[in-house]
Structure formats: C-alpha cells, structure tokens
Structure 1
Amino acid sequence: MSHHATTDFPADRAQAAGLRTWAMEVLRRLGPGLDEEQHGNVLDDVKLVLTELVANAIVHGCGGDRPDVKLTASLAHASGVVHVSVSDPGLGRPECRQASNDATCGRGLALVSGVASRFGVKALPEGGKTVWAEIALPAALPGRGHVSRASAARPDAGLSSVS
C-alpha cells in the first residue's frame, strides 16, 4: 500500500527550510516502520535529496527565484522506498556533471546519486518535468538491519527517462 503527500510552494530558495520541516512531519506520518536511528538516517537523506531537487527546480527549471511560479514537492512511501519528487515548469533535463574544486555549484545531482538507490526525470504532459529519487528503506535491503549511505549508493546511478 502506498502512502503519499504533496505540497505546492513558490519557486523561492527561502522555501527550502520549510520544505525540510514538511518532509520531517510527512515522513513521521507515513510511518515507514523504522527504529529511531534508521528514521534519522532516512530523514537526513530525504531532506538532502528534497533540498537539492528544490534548488535545481528553482535555479534551472525556473531560471532563479520566481515567487509567482508554483512548484510541487511529493513524498511517498511504498515497496521499501521513500519516493521524493519535485515538479517544475522547465523543459531542460538535469545533467550530472563534474564540478571543479573551485566551483561553488554543480554537485547537487552527485549528492543525490550518493544517497538515492535510483533517480530520474519524467516529462509532464502539460509541459515541464518531475525529477524524482528513491531512497531505500533499511528493511528493503536483504540481510541488513541498517543501511549506510555507502551501501545505499549505486555508483552507476544516473538519470533515467521514465515515461
């Protein structure tokens, strides 16, 4: 059975803190059945992924802060994963890239791929896109009572197109 929550928010980077609080409340309500330590680890990963997807949606999907543009964030718990997604009106597709040591940006999707079991992008019929990531719950990893960031990461993770 799937449990989910969705919220709309203005395309403004100042919204990130409120969205992290929203994610914490939603994850607690969705109740993926984790102990306190596991819940904290999953919550940290969800907040990181959500923050990066929101920042990318605002910077690349909207061209910067645009309080007049509404974006949508969703969280869902089903089949051993927490699904995090952010939808924006932009047509461009996110790309993983190698940031130089001096660069002040360009590492967001690398961070997402480090904690997500998989992630991708889906075009929306009305235009725009949804960028999503799945974070594996510890119970979803056979033979493990606890998932570490290293074991959950897939070195070959990248953006895949989902129709």
Structure 2
Amino acid sequence: MIREQLNSWGWSGDPVDDLVLIASELVTNAVVHACHGQGEVGLSLQEFDGDCRLEVRDPRGDLRVRRPHPRRFTEGGRGIELVRQLAVDFGVIVRRDAGKRVWVRVLLDPDNNRPSPGS
C-alpha cells in the first residue's frame, strides 16, 4: 500500500524503500507495545513538494521507557535508532486522552535539504 501510493506520487528508489521500512518498524512497535490486542493502529502519508510525512497512531497515551543501548545479543531495541537514521526529522506527540502519534519526514532528494559545507 505504501509503496504503491508513493509510486503514484512519482517517488521511487531509496526514499520509497526507507519509508516502507520505517512504516514496518513503527506499525510493529505500535502493535506490540501499545495495543496489547486492543485498540487500533492508524497510518497516514502526506506528500508535499518532495517531502513525505508518515505518521503512525496508537491508543497508548504514554511513552514506553527504552534502554539507552540495545542488549548485545537480542533482536529488539534497534528499530527506533534505524528510523532516526533514515528520516530527516522524527517526533512523538503524546496525548493521554487520545493516544500517541509517531511521525517521520523523509525527503525525495535528501541532498536538497542539507546545509552546504561552511554554512
């Protein structure tokens, strides 16, 4: 669904792969850590002028405390760091009465948003 929508907007290549991976990570986190078999997870995409905002909503109105560093031999604990590396911007909006929204921004051409050397 995400790949098809981005392709319909003219996106291709690494930014599409990055957004699909980010969506997978954020939706998985919401299902595993926030829903506990109840509530809904929502996902939305907004594209404007080479900038895409992906947002995942879940019913949990707080943040789960995370370890500063993942354990060496465990599979979990690295996903949010991966999301931070792939996104140009990342944040969380928490409302105790309305759940949480985790959002990221990815650019079609990341080089267009980077400051030039020396600036």
Work out whether the TM-score is over 0.5. Answer: yes
Equivalent residue number for residue 46 of structure 1: 19
The total of aligned residue pairs comes to 113
Alpha-carbon displacement from aligned partner over 1:111-159 (angstroms, at most 9, x marks no partner): 101100110011348510110011122176158xxxxxxxxxxxxxxxx
**Normalised TM-score (structure 1):** 0.61
Equivalent residue number for residue 41 of structure 2: 71
What's the offset of the Cα at 1:72?
0.7
| Corresponding residue SS for 1:69 | coil
**Normalised TM-score (structure 2):** 0.82
Match of 1:121 among 75, 78, 92: 92
Does structure 2 conserve the Cα–Cα contact (< 8 Å) formed by 1:76 and 1:83?
Answer: yes
State the alpha-carbon separation in 2 of the partners of residues 43 and 100 from structure 1.
30
| Corresponding residue SS for 2:69 | coil
% same residue? 31
Unaligned runs of 5+ in 2: 115-119
Matched, 1:84 2:54: yes
Equivalent residue number for residue 138 of structure 1: 109
Does structure 2 conserve the Cα–Cα contact (< 8 Å) formed by 1:80 and 1:139?
Answer: no
Matched, 1:23 2:2: yes
| Corresponding residue SS for 2:40 | strand
Over 3 Å counting, the alpha-carbon distance change for 1:142 and 1:83 in structure 2 is: closer
Alpha-carbon displacement from aligned partner over 1:58-92 (angstroms, at most 9, x marks no partner): 111113xx2x5321101111143211110000122
Unaligned runs of 5+ in 1: 1-21, 33-38, 144-163
State the alpha-carbon separation in 2 of the partners of residues 136 and 115 from structure 1.
10
| Corresponding residue SS for 2:39 | strand
Over 3 Å counting, the alpha-carbon distance change for 1:82 and 1:100 in structure 2 is: same
Dislocated runs of 4+, deviation >6 Å: none
State the alpha-carbon separation in 1 of the partners of residues 67 and 74 from structure 2.
14
Q: Which amino acid is the alignment partner of residue 84 of structure 2?
A: S
State the alpha-carbon separation in 2 of the partners of residues 60 and 97 from structure 1.
17
